[in-house]
Each structure stands twice: as structure tokens, then as C-alpha cells.
Structure 1
Amino acid sequence: MRLFDTHCHFDFDVFADDFACQLELAQTQGVERIMIPSIGPSNWDKLLAMSAEYAGIYTALGMHPYFLTDNSVYHLTDLQKQTEAHLNHFRAIGECGLDAMVDVDHDIQGKVFNAQIALANDLQLPLILHSRKTHNEVLQLLKQHKFTFGGVLHGFSGSYQQAMQFIELGFYIGIGGVITYPRARKTRQTAANLPLEWIVLETDAPDMPLMGYQGKPNHPAMLSQVLSCLTLLRDTDERSVAQITWKNANRVFKVCE
């Protein structure tokens, strides 16, 4: 089976020791492709270099709401320049969005997110969305921008109705380790009932550890367990789920199979 981890912070320090071995470990579990979204100016150059050096590593350029500061609006010009200079070397804008659970000024989050939606519109690229307790506002902004290039709603944890609103705007739903927790009933039920043609798999490693691995860094090699859990929830064939989610991930990021 061929798997595509559509959201993994594989550039973080926890993976720095012998990265080639870390990548090989993921590959032994069927993970052939990995999308690494950026968090901001601090890792744009590193991600571009990684995607150039390693086959199967793809990247997105953007500014994550968690890492914004009062000065972040001034980096939007830098983001514009980076995207213009490296247009053929990244696949999406992101990770970007809104987060009601972090201590970052909401006005700054809004300005930076709006600018990134506009940039993705200009470049005709998908967005990798981060949304915590902000689904309605994110949807409203996407509609205001008349954004039509889709993307992935990363780390989804919500209702079927919320997920379908994003799907209607062309966004795939990123399903990760949350579904391995029995207490996450709403998210598990949603994952079981969404149209499979709009689901992609992710780990968000080193974050979002799976059930039974709390306190340990997550790893893209764990994606096969996310697949297994999703298959059980949907009571279907694992190979067919793997094939469809693989096609979905390649389609959204415009990667040849």
C-alpha cells in the first residue's frame, strides 16, 4: 500500500538526528510521500531545501497562526517574494488559518490569514488550513474571497455538518490520530460517514500522538495505524481506503502518481 502523510512537521528538531533513517522508517510503513507545511519565515528555506534533496518530500509556504507575533504582518511581503522566487518548488500555501485557543491577537491572525487566502488565489494554489474553534469564521472568509482552489482542512475534529461545509468549498478533510481515541465520538462518527473521496490521511507529527502513545513524539510511520483505525470505523477494506486516500492526496497537491 502507498500512503501520503498530508501533514507532518518533519523538519522539527525531534527528527533532526539522522533524518535519512527517520525517513526510511516512515517508508517501511508504506509512507511514500510527506507534505511538510511551514510555520513561518523561520523554516521556509529549510523546507525548500528538504523538498529539493529528498524524493517524496513536499512542502507548503505559509504562516501558522500559533507562531504569529505583533511583527508578523511585516513578513507578508517576504512570503510574497518567497512564493514568487520558488513557485515550482512548493505545492500549497500554509499552514495558515485561525486559532481561538492561542494567545495571539485575533486581528493579527485575521490580517495574516486574509493575506494568505489572497495569495493562494493569485497563485491558484490550494490552502492547508488550521482551524481551532473557528470553523464558521474560516468558512466565511473563504467565501468572501471567493476562493475556489481547495486544499486540506488539517487535523479535523468536528461534526459531519461542519466537514461537509468545507467539502462544498473544495477542501479535503485531514484525518489523523484523533480518531484512535474512543472518547472522540463525534470525530470518529464523522470520519466513518464522510465521503471517502474527500478524506486524506495525516499524522501532524511530532504532535497529535495516537492512542497508547501519549507522551511520545508522533511519527509519520504511524500513518499506517491511522489508516487501520479509519478502516475499522468504516467497516471496509483497508487496501481500498489506502488507494482512494492516496489518490486524493496526490490530486489536491497536484502530484503525479
Structure 2
Amino acid sequence: MIDFHCHVDLFKDPKPILDGAEKKGVYVLAVTTTPKAWTGTKRLIGSRRRIRVALGLHPELVRERHTEIALFEHFLAETDYVGEVGLDGSPHLRDSFDLQTKVLRRILLACRNAGGRVISLHSRRAASEVLDLLEAEPFAGTPILHWFSGSTRELERAVQLGCWFSVGPTMVGSAKGRKLVELMPRERILTETDSPFAQMSGAPLSPWDVALAYPVLRELWNCSEEEVDKQLLSNLRNLNRVKGTARCV
């Protein structure tokens, strides 16, 4: 199983989550929301073999944390993974949208200069703008659009640009989410939880709860759940082969 977008450091008690993921053999990308969280999250993860830490600067925090971009650039050499970064066009964040754009442009440039990174991207109500920046910086690495919620036309463009996608139980729980997943190339899909933000029955999802998305993927792909798991693991192996050298064109 793969949880390619999980805020492990934001759980009230991360250790049982980490121990459970390790015991169940879940591959986890632990995304962060600010560069200042990088060192502490790395220490939290320790030497766990199946868990990687991504360096992030969340668009919802850019208004207050944009000065940490220099710290982001400082730590970038320590990881192959970036996230959570991106743009958010929600009404309450519109006043910071220009600043978000400047920060994301600088992040993508830093990734290009570092030789490319795997980049987990937030694009709520801003898919076209995120794609514009990716198109302008094609050597930034491998973009993975987390919980994509744009239009089908934006999805088609993202596919043409070579983007990957991470999808989770909450996303596939809606008709729109299932339709978008159906249109995504299955060889460029990974699973995620976006926990502890994503919840079911009032409780945060655990990394191994990505399996709750398997029945939907099985139906959309017309295959068994075992074949779903094999496809996702194959995708992760392929991503590891291209990370740092991929283009989004």
C-alpha cells in the first residue's frame, strides 16, 4: 500500500501511526507545510525505510510564512521530494494569491536548479494557474497533483503535461472525484490519504486506509483488488526511476 500524501507530523500522536504503517508495510510520503517543520519531521521519521519526508510550503500558509522560502532553498538538497506546495484560489486566500504565485515560481525554479524533484502539488481552485507555472518550468521535476479537483479540460491538459496524480478514499467518495480518476492514466496514479485533514466517520484516516479506495479503482479499472495493488506498486517503482530527471512536457 502507498500513502503518497500524508501530514504525519500533524497527528496528535504520530508514533502509533508511524509504527502501524511500518508494521503493515505501507510506503508513505510525509509531506510538510512549512520549511521550519523539516528538521523536526525528519527526526520524527528517523530511519524508517518505507517513509520519505517531503519539503513543503503550503499555499494556505504563504501569507504568514513566505519569508521561509530561503529556508526551503537551503534544505532542498537534503531530499528528492517536495510537498506540500502549490496554489489555492479559495475566496479567503485570494488576497495572497499573487504572493503564492511568486513563491511557487521560486520553488519550481529551485527544483530545476537542483536537478529536478518529485513535487506533490495543491491546486484547489487554481488548477490552470498551477499548470501554467509547470509548463513554464518543465525541468522542475515530476509533478504529482494531489487530490485534483479541477475540470475535465484542466485534467486533459495536466495529462498532456505529464503530470501524475494522487487520489484517496475521500476523493473517490464523490461522483466528480470518481469521474476524474476514471480519466486519469492508471500508470500515473498513486494513492493518498491527506490525513489527518481527510477523515471518515469523524476520525482521521490512517495511511493503510488508502485500501478503502481500492474497490472504486477496481471498478474503474475492471480488475481485481490484487491487480490494483500491483499497478500502484508498479507506478511507485516507475516514479522512483524517473524522479529528478522527469520533465512535465
The TM-score with structure 2 as length reference comes to: 0.86
Seen in structure 2, the aligned counterparts of structure 1 residues 69 and 253 have a Cα distance that, compared at 3 Å, is farther
Please say which of residues 147-156 and 34-43 is displaced more in the overlay.
147-156
Letter in 2 for 1:220: P
Show the counterpart of 2:246.
none
Separation of aligned partners in 2, 1:108 and 1:221: 36
Query: Does the CA-based 8 Å contact 1:73-1:111 persist in structure 2?
Result: no
1:120 corresponds, among 111, 117, 120, to 111
Residue of structure 2 aligned with 1:5, choices 3, 6, 9: 3
Deviations 1:121-180 (A, max 9, x none): 111112111000101111111112234522310012244432232222222111112344
* Offset, 1:229: 2.5
* Aligned match of 1:176: 168
Secondary structure of 2:170's counterpart equals helix
Corresponding pairs, count: 240
1:143 aligns with 2:143: no
Q: Which residue of 2 aligns with 1:73?
A: 66
Partner of 2:46: 52
Q: What amino acid is the match of 2:31?
A: P
- Aligned partners of 1:113, 1:201: CA distance in 2, in Å? 24
TM-score (norm 1): 0.84
- Secondary structure of 2:202's partner? coil
Correspondent of 1:83 among 76, 79, 84? 76
Q: Which residue of 1 aligns with 2:219?
A: 232
Measured in 2, the distance between the counterparts of 1:140 and 1:255 equals 22
Matched residue, 2:247: none
Q: Deviations over 1:196-219 (max 9, x none)?
A: 11111111111222xxx2321121
**1:189 and 2:179 equivalent?**
yes
**2:31 pairs with 1:37:** yes
| Superposed CA offset, 1:33-86 (max 9, x none) | 10011101231112222343322110111211112234x3322111111123x2
Match of 1:94 among 52, 77, 83: 83
Could you tell me which runs of 5 or more consecutive residues in structure 2 were left unpaired when the two chains were aligned. Answer: 244-249
| 8 Å CA contact 1:31, 1:223 repeated in 2 | no
* Native 8 Å contact 1:151 1:252 kept in 2: no
* Structure 1: gaps of 5 or more residues: none
Q: Tell me if 1:25 matches 2:23.
A: no
Q: Offset of 1:254 from its aligned partner?
A: 4.8
1:129 matched to 2:118: no
Calculate the aligned-residue CA RMSD, in Å. Answer: 2.3
User: C-alpha separation between the residues in 2 aligned to 1:49 and 1:98?
Assistant: 28
Q: CA deviation at 1:250?
A: 3.5
* Bigger fraction of residues in helix: 2
Q: Determine what percentage of the aligned residue pairs are the same residue.
A: 25
Distance change >3 Å, CA 193–CA 79, structure 1 → 2 = closer
Secondary structure of the residue that 2:147 maps to in structure 1?
Answer: coil
Q: Are residues 1:241 and 2:216 paired?
A: no
